[in-house]
Amino acid sequence: MSARRRPVVLAAGGTGGHVFPAESLAGELARRGLPLALLTDDRGRQWQGALAELPVHRVRAGSPGAGGPIDRVRNLVALGVGVAQSVRLLGRLSPSAVVGFGGYASVPAMFAARLRRLPTLIHEQNAVLGRANRLVAGRHTMIATAFRKVRHLADDDRRVRLVGNPVRDAVLAVRDMPYAPPSPEGEIRMLVVGGSQGAASFGVVIPEAVATLPDAVRRRLKLAQQCRPEDLQRVRAFYAERGIDAECETFFSDFPARLAGAHLVVARAGASTVAELTTSGRPSVLVPFPHATEDHQRANAMAIDEVGASILLPHERFTVEALRLQLVELFGAPQRLAAMAAAARAAGRPDAARHLADLVVGMIGAPEAATSRTQGAAA
């Protein structure tokens, strides 16, 4: 079977941060005519975009570090079963390469690929190489990164290529919509997103901070805030009682449109969020989730704070007064918001999906599927 017709297997699952890049790569490789398959764990998921079109193969998986001693043993057994299932599956599929996107859903496939001596590539979305990716990154595995500096990877590691973190097409389109800061007397549009599960502290600190803004600022504010389901009615009532123009939902299906119109975004610092902010070129205040593994959200936020694209507000300093002061300062300095937006756009990598696909194509030797050559240098 030629490399051209052997499928590329994508190993992904878990949170959106691991799945969105896989979805983007699937779309790009499909446009180049490469056959694909998805290998994931046995948890249910409604796949979107290009992933929804792929044949899906499920195996067992588990996190060996999660839960108590009994849970860890069970997870290790599940992981071992998943590797054995993946070895058999890859033998049947005979893929040209296996691409993993982190998270323990990808571990069985990546271990099996190494056992079968297949070309492998992992994509790391965060500024810290995740535990799952560290576990499967053999010395011959290529590593694609979203950040120039990634903790646990040496600067001279020849396996590493900087490509960026692919985002959804709808978010990519926002890059073509120029950022315009608020006018002196015009409305101020603020967007608050707290990750796929919301953020408990956001439902307390942000409403109180907004309520204490100067009247002249508060009257101009148009707020859209994502809330946890258990906080939604309380937060809505809080804003309504104070006459604050706020839309509160558990999920914004029109997120790209809201991002396009936002003057400022307040968010966690997950990999997908940071990629969306930089690709679209929107200024932000980032409050990293304090319990993220190895504090990787802080590392993500630091990377764009250092180039002037965002303001890092660590969770331990995320208070009503600290946020109020930041909002007053930013809303009173539209030129600074514009400069932050420009810095975010400069840090964005809108061609991440194309560059990642170039790596895959180069790795499997399918020149007829190539449309460009990756320019990402070693991180």
The amino acid that residue 164 corresponds to is G
CATH number at residue 176: 3.40.50.2000
Percentage of the chain beyond pLDDT 70 is: 93
Predicted pLDDT of residue 375: 42
Q: Average pLDDT for residues 289-308, to the nearest whole number?
A: 96
Give the side-chain half-sphere CA count within 13 A for 335. Answer: 0
The amino acid that residue 104 corresponds to is Y
Determine the Cα–Cα distance for residues 352 and 288; give it in Å rounded to an integer.
23
Q: Are 256 and 234 within 8 A, CB to CB?
A: no
Does any domain span residue 377?
Answer: no
CA angle 218, 221, 226 (to 5 degrees): 115
Determine the Cα–Cα distance for residues 360 and 364; give it in Å rounded to an integer.
6
Which tens digits make up the pLDDT trace of 310-327?
999 999 999 999 999 999
What's the domain range around 205?
171-347
Q: Are 31 and 361 within 8 A, CB to CB?
A: no
Q: Average pLDDT for residues 277-293, to the nearest whole number?
A: 96
Q: Are residues 160 and 195 in the same domain?
A: no
Does any domain span residue 378?
Answer: no
Among 120, 104, 31, smallest CA distance to 71 is for 104
Which tens digits make up the pLDDT trace of 91-104?
999 999 999 999 99
Determine the Cα–Cα distance for residues 15 and 163; give it in Å rounded to an integer.
21
Which tens digits make up the pLDDT trace of 137-178?
988 889 999 999 999 999 999 999 999 999 988 999 999 999
Q: Are residues 272 and 320 in the same domain?
A: yes
> Which uninterrupted H or E stretch holds 31?
helix 16-31
Count of domains for the chain: 2
Predicted pLDDT of residue 368: 57
Q: Average pLDDT for residues 238-256, to the nearest whole number?
A: 96
Which tens digits make up the pLDDT trace of 9-66?
999 987 778 888 999 999 999 999 999 999 999 876 768 788 889 999 999 998 877 7
Does any domain span residue 375?
Answer: no
Percentage of the chain beyond pLDDT 90 is: 79
Predicted pLDDT of residue 195: 56
Instruction: Say yes or no to pLDDT of 354 above 70.
Output: yes
What Cα–Cα distance (Å) separates residue 210 from each residue in 86, 221, 326, 371?
51, 9, 11, 48
Residue 305 has which token pair? 């704070």
Q: Are residues 191 and 323 in the same domain?
A: yes
Q: Are residues 102 and 52 in the same domain?
A: yes
Alpha-helical segments (H) within 40-168: 69-93, 107-115, 131-136
pTM of the full predicted structure?
0.90
Q: Are residues 222 and 239 in the same domain?
A: yes
Determine the Cα–Cα distance for residues 185 and 46; give it in Å rounded to an integer.
44
Band the pLDDT of 196: cuts 50, 70, 90.
Answer: low
Compute how many other C-beta atoms are within 10 angstroms of the C-beta atom of residue 200. 13
Q: Are residues 230 and 327 in the same domain?
A: yes
